[in-house]
Amino acid sequence: MVVQLRICVPGELSAVTVQTCRDQRGVAEVTVAKGVAVVPPGDVIEVLIARESVEELLEKLEILKIRDAGSIAMTTPEFVLSRKADRAERAAPGDGADAVIWDDVTRQTGEDSRLTWNFIAFLVLATQLAGIGIVTDSPIAIVGAMAVGPEFGPLAALAVSLATRQWKLGRRAAVALGVGFPVAMLLAALTAWLSVPLGLFPRDALDKGSAVEFIYHPGPYSLIVAVLAGIAGMLSIIGRRSAALIGVFISVTTVPAAGYVAVALVLGEYQKAAGSALQLLLNLVGIVVAALAVLLFYRVVARRLPDGVARRLQRQRSGARR
């Protein structure tokens, strides 16, 4: 698994950046295009590197303050035929699937944690599907609501913010959840309130829903499933395995629990509403705690740059800027 980095740097930092890339273990190719960058003016450096070496190289480039002086873009080629790339992957420590690129994880979770109209729309649609599944005793509709729900993004962002102390990311995710869920639940309650007099479902609909009893009966397995889903979800983000996220969405009952709270309150089933609210809380907390545990584990086992390397790079940068 190889990654391509495109680094745009001012001319005075080009030489030290190229040397840093060349010295990095796991690098297969380094290409320099002199003076092709116009805004800002400078050179463009392209690096083909094993994925497991990317984080270490990015740490070095951060010390050189390339992000401030220019830019770094990362892409993953679909197909690479290169014996040098094969040797670079073998030389790099670990495995690409296990490598954490922290900036990439932050970017992925950050994109999914914003309070946008798109996020609210998907959460509202998912909660409406859950409400329909609840009053019709339809597990298929419940599963559909789980798959459509977008709540894992902000939950993962909360875990990332706690692990990396990026509090702005955490506040943004908390706002998305704190606004999105109440809006979705309020609209689900309004829909249920309008549906009863229209005869779309009877007032005793919740007494007949044997297939969805698990939603308002939280237990030890509710927390266990949430923890497992949080672990699987964060691992899928780290390894860029988007297909696995669908399974994570379907395994947790956050959206169905939110929908059940709304419907149960409208129908006066306050005990079932309380049980569903507890189910919702267990899922939210379990996912965040488990995802945070995964990130902290990777923080502990991740290789860090020796202090000598950091000081050497800082001296090289200072010398290049003179």
Has residue 302 got a pLDDT over 90?
no
CA distances from 142 to 160, 271, 277, 308 (A): 28, 21, 16, 56
pLDDT of residue 251: 67
Of 83, 179, 73, the closest CA to residue 124 belongs to: 179
pLDDT of residue 303: 64
Q: What is the pLDDT of residues 129-188, one digit of tens each?
A: 999 999 888 888 888 888 888 898 899 999 999 998 899 999 999 999 999 999 999 999
Count of beta carbons in the 10 Å neighbourhood of residue 114: 15
The residue-averaged pLDDT of 6-12 equals 92
Has residue 82 got a pLDDT over 80?
yes
The residue-averaged pLDDT of 108-132 equals 91
pLDDT of residue 8: 94
pLDDT of residue 71: 93
pLDDT of residue 172: 94
Q: pLDDT: is 312 or 271 the higher one?
A: 271
Contact 102, 160 (CB under 8 A): no
pLDDT of residue 97: 67
- List Cβ neighbours of 128 (8 Å cut-off, separation of 6 or more): 187, 188, 191, 259
